[in-house]
Chains A and B, each alone.
Chain A
Amino acid sequence: MGSVVLVVRLALADVRRHRAQAAMLLLTVTVATATMAMGLSLHGVSDALYERTRAATAGPDVVVLSGESGPDVTAALASLAGHPGVVAHHGPYRIVYADLATRDALSSPVVVHGFAETPGPVNRPLVTSGRWVRPGGAVLERGFAVALGVGVGDRVTIAGRSYPVVGIAVTAATSIYPWGAQIGPYGGPSDYTGLAWMTRSDARELAAARRLPVTTAVDLRLRDPAAAESFRTTVGDDHRVRAFGSTFRSWTFTARQDMVILRNAQPILVIGSWLLGFLAVTGVVTLAAGRVAEQTRRAGLLKAVGAGPGLIAAVLLTEYLAAALAGDALGLMIARLAMPAVAAPTASRIGDAEPTAAAVAAATVLAVAVAVLSTLGPTLRAMRTATVTALAAPAYQPRRRPRLTALSALLPTPLLLGLRLTARRPGRAVLQACSTATTVVAIIVLLTVHAQRERGYGLDGSTALPNLRGLHDRRLMLAITVLLIALAVVNTLVFTWTTAMEARANMAVARTLGATPGQITAGLSAAQLLPSLPGAAVGVPLGVLVYLFFRVGDTVPPRPSWMLGAVLATLLGTAALTALPARLAARRSVARTLSAETA
């Protein structure tokens, strides 16, 4: 019990003394865990939303569609209801292919399902506003209605005829908007299409008046829903539906289709969380390295009074673990709040979205990993150091680097100072380079995502109705990039300030020898910029590779001028960020700094 109290007391005292470090760890872990929890949950959440919608709308287990219409097709589809594996059915019903236009001149392909005014036992769309179909009116699928900006009471034009929107509804019989058409006209390929319902007679009249393409469909509920994928096989090759080139859509297929819109979102979030976690580790490692002497002395003190290795490790790690777990809790809360927007970019499904248990566990593991990785080195070093040595732990002694020293002598004073400062902590230089590379990778991927051309969801691929998948990807990528840039900014400030503090005695001596504050400031900035240069250079091809690894289909590269601009902006941003802490450090009183070193 006493050990626990000791550990808690010391951890609290550390957090109070190193508030900035605790805040930084909290912030970075929050961001990384929120992103990872959302990324890993996407598939599970998408499935959960589909399941809820299916349950609420008596979704069919199989939808059988034929590209043809007529009495023979209708009879063939209707005969499926008598199959021994089928327990209930809806239809056959007519599906009419048309164009829809709104008052705001937005137009889109639409499939109109002809339904009874009283829905049957299978495929009962859930009306979320207004009412179900009535003669002369149209009900729009909710995702489609939201994309069009249309509500109950508005009028839409379908195949040249004006209809009032009498209701908005959701269904699980089709995939989410814009995949309302499960097959194209006459059984061909389908395009981005919205979904609407009318009465059977209105649909028939619409098709006849405009000679529109029509397909026929029937919804089936099976005795064994798990056998939906194999139902087509059990129907048999000699069944009449085969003669009409029928397409079988299982509920599992529809659920998988829901994930198409999130196909890029998952890697964006998961890889984004790794990159955010990496930046978190680099920043905290730098801060932790600056406390090595203090931690080593503490370990020596604890050993001297009889503490064992377990207690020492607990004391050294608890502060970081506590901040990381707090960040994890905060991150999961943010993920819970943001999940609906991330997992359901359309309004086609109902239900709550929250991170899955597996994602919560993975995010917590990430949080603990960030804390442990950041402090493992200094902790092990502290525990391995002999007690007497630990109690007298000297400040960090950099290695001599004669070639770099000789090279720096050829350079102007700021670069001379900058190069020598970089050489004092090569590990930190590598971290700075990696931090810059990570930021540039994200920017390049963002630029590449923006460079891709995509078809809009409007009529003939018009972007008047934006491609929601592309839009969602760009928004997520932008959010991840902004977060990475924010962490990189924090890291750069930390690197610069930590370098300035560690080298303050040497910089004070340099000022006594004639270096101006401006030269010291420039030297401290150069110490961060020098490793950032190769980091930025490596980040460009890495960013392209990351994108290509996950991209399906052809890729349009971003313009070289954009990429060069991104690199230059990153480097200029780094220079600007380092200037403030460098300037503050360079202006410290020389006399006070040297006196403090002597004391």
Chain B
Amino acid sequence: MRGPVLRARGLVKHHGRGQSLVRAVDEVDLEVHAGQTLAVMGPSGCGKSTLLHLLGGLERPTAGEVWVAGRRIDTLSERALARLRRRSVGFVFQAFHLVEELSAAENVELPVLLAGRSPREARRRASLLLDRVGLADRARHLPSRLSGGQRQRVAIARALANEPLVVLADEPTGNLDTAATLDVLRIFEDLRAAGQTLVIVTHDERVAATADRLVSMRDGMFVDDTRLTAAHPRGLGGLGGMLGLGG
């Protein structure tokens, strides 16, 4: 598609008033083009997660504009936002947020069913995606019987269920050990190679290393925006080697 998949202009999100005013996001401008992987890094409390929520329509900005696929979303109703999320946006959360009483396959089927597609289509799609993330043999397992890394992979598969324009991942490896982190990073690398647009909020440099572009945030503002090219290789100082990533 022409034009950026995601665009934010003068984005502001404040909490509280007067003495207790918190500027979670402060005049942020952003464009993410199709196929790009954007990593947003910063210390805890800098506004990374809030930014992600604003981009995905989970929160409303105090000021500014958000555009997804050329459509302004910050003025949409909740109903319209929900419909937008069905087709255009996939979320991956730090805490996975899987439905505990549904199996891995049923969790992945859920967004497909919510989009109004048939149970057969949902099952087919879930099977395909679980295979893609390497969990075909765990399809009938409940989340309680999966490791942290496996649960996050199910969450990624769920985020991809309706072939979204962009996947927004909020600290996807925050609760994972090293081995699980590597599994997830491999998936992200595969997605990047397949042309999926990704925005990943993280404080983990290993995760940031998988991105095309790295934005640093502090106190709600962008303080740095770096394209990770040959001059700024993605595998920062041996991390790429550790991941087994080429380029």
- The smallest beta-carbon distance between B133 and chain A, in angstroms, is 17
* Highest count of chain A CB atoms <10 Å: which of B79, B85, B97: B97
Contact of B99 among A401, A506, A517 (CB under 8 A): A506
Check if A514 sits within 8 Å of B111, measured CB to CB: yes
Q: Which of A59-67, A88-96, A583-591 contacts B (4 or more CB under 8 A)?
A: A583-591
Beta-carbon nearest neighbor of B97 in chain A: A509
Is B33 located at the chain interface by the 8 A CB criterion? no
Is B187 located at the chain interface by the 8 A CB criterion? no
What string of 1s and 0s marks CB contacts (under 8 Å) between A396-421 and chain B?
A: 01111110011001100100100010
Determine the distance from Cα of A512 to Cα of B114 in the docked complex, in whole angstroms.
Answer: 11
Is B182 located at the chain interface by the 8 A CB criterion? no
Q: Which of B100-108, B214-222, B223-231 contacts A (4 or more CB under 8 A)?
A: B100-108
Check if B142 sits within 8 Å of A517, measured CB to CB: no
By a CB distance below 8 angstroms, the chain A residues around B49 are 591, 595
Determine the distance from Cα of A479 to Cα of B193 in the docked complex, in whole angstroms.
Answer: 72
Is A257 located at the chain interface by the 8 A CB criterion? no
- The smallest beta-carbon distance between B17 and chain A, in angstroms, is 17
Task: Sort chain A's interface into a size bin.
Answer: 35 or more
Check if B144 sits within 8 Å of A397, measured CB to CB: yes
Is B83 located at the chain interface by the 8 A CB criterion? yes
Beta-carbon nearest neighbor of A423 in chain B: B101
Contact of A509 among B86, B99, B144, B162 (CB under 8 A): B99
Check if A514 sits within 8 Å of B100, measured CB to CB: no
Determine the distance from Cα of A405 to Cα of B100 in the docked complex, in whole angstroms.
Answer: 13
Check if B158 sits within 8 Å of A513, measured CB to CB: yes
Check if B111 sits within 8 Å of A405, measured CB to CB: no
By a CB distance below 8 angstroms, the chain A residues around B116 are 413
Check if A409 sits within 8 Å of B109, measured CB to CB: yes
Check if B115 sits within 8 Å of A514, measured CB to CB: yes
By a CB distance below 8 angstroms, the chain B residues around A399 are 101
* Highest count of chain A CB atoms <10 Å: which of B56, B98, B101, B109: B101
What string of 1s and 0s marks CB contacts (under 8 Å) between B55-73 and chain A?
A: 0101100000000000000
* Highest count of chain B CB atoms <10 Å: which of A398, A517, A589, A594: A594
Is A505 located at the chain interface by the 8 A CB criterion? yes
By a CB distance below 8 angstroms, the chain B residues around A400 are 101-103, 142
By a CB distance below 8 angstroms, the chain B residues around A597 are 95, 97
Determine the distance from Cα of A587 to Cα of B115 in the docked complex, in whole angstroms.
Answer: 20
By a CB distance below 8 angstroms, the chain A residues around B100 are 397-398
Determine the distance from Cα of A227 to Cα of B160 in the docked complex, in whole angstroms.
Answer: 92
By a CB distance below 8 angstroms, the chain A residues around B101 are 397-401, 420, 423-424
* Highest count of chain A CB atoms <10 Å: which of B82, B93, B122: B82
By a CB distance below 8 angstroms, the chain A residues around B10 are none
Check if B102 sits within 8 Å of A405, measured CB to CB: yes
Task: Sort chain B's interface into a size bin.
Answer: 35 or more
Contact of B114 among A406, A423, A505, A510 (CB under 8 A): A510
Check if A591 sits within 8 Å of B59, measured CB to CB: yes
Is B78 located at the chain interface by the 8 A CB criterion? yes
Is B53 located at the chain interface by the 8 A CB criterion? yes
Beta-carbon nearest neighbor of A413 in chain B: B114
Is B195 located at the chain interface by the 8 A CB criterion? no
Check if A587 sits within 8 Å of B78, measured CB to CB: yes
Known: A400-B142, A587-B78, A591-B53. A514 touches B162 (CB 8 A): yes
Is B191 located at the chain interface by the 8 A CB criterion? no
Known: A410-B119, A598-B95. A514 touches B86 (CB 8 A): yes
Contact of A516 among B79, B144, B158 (CB under 8 A): B79
Check if A405 sits within 8 Å of B106, measured CB to CB: yes
Known: A509-B97, A590-B58, A598-B95. A514 touches B102 (CB 8 A): no
Determine the distance from Cα of A394 to Cα of B214 in the docked complex, in whole angstroms.
Answer: 38
Check if B113 sits within 8 Å of A416, measured CB to CB: yes
Known: A405-B106, A587-B78. A514 touches B114 (CB 8 A): yes
Is A518 located at the chain interface by the 8 A CB criterion? yes
Beta-carbon nearest neighbor of A512 in chain B: B91
Is A511 located at the chain interface by the 8 A CB criterion? yes
By a CB distance below 8 angstroms, the chain B residues around A518 are 79
Beta-carbon nearest neighbor of A514 in chain B: B86
By a CB distance below 8 angstroms, the chain B residues around A212 are none
10 nearest A-B residue pairs (beta carbon): A514-B86, A516-B82, A513-B111, A409-B119, A591-B53, A516-B79, A598-B95, A398-B101, A591-B58, A590-B58
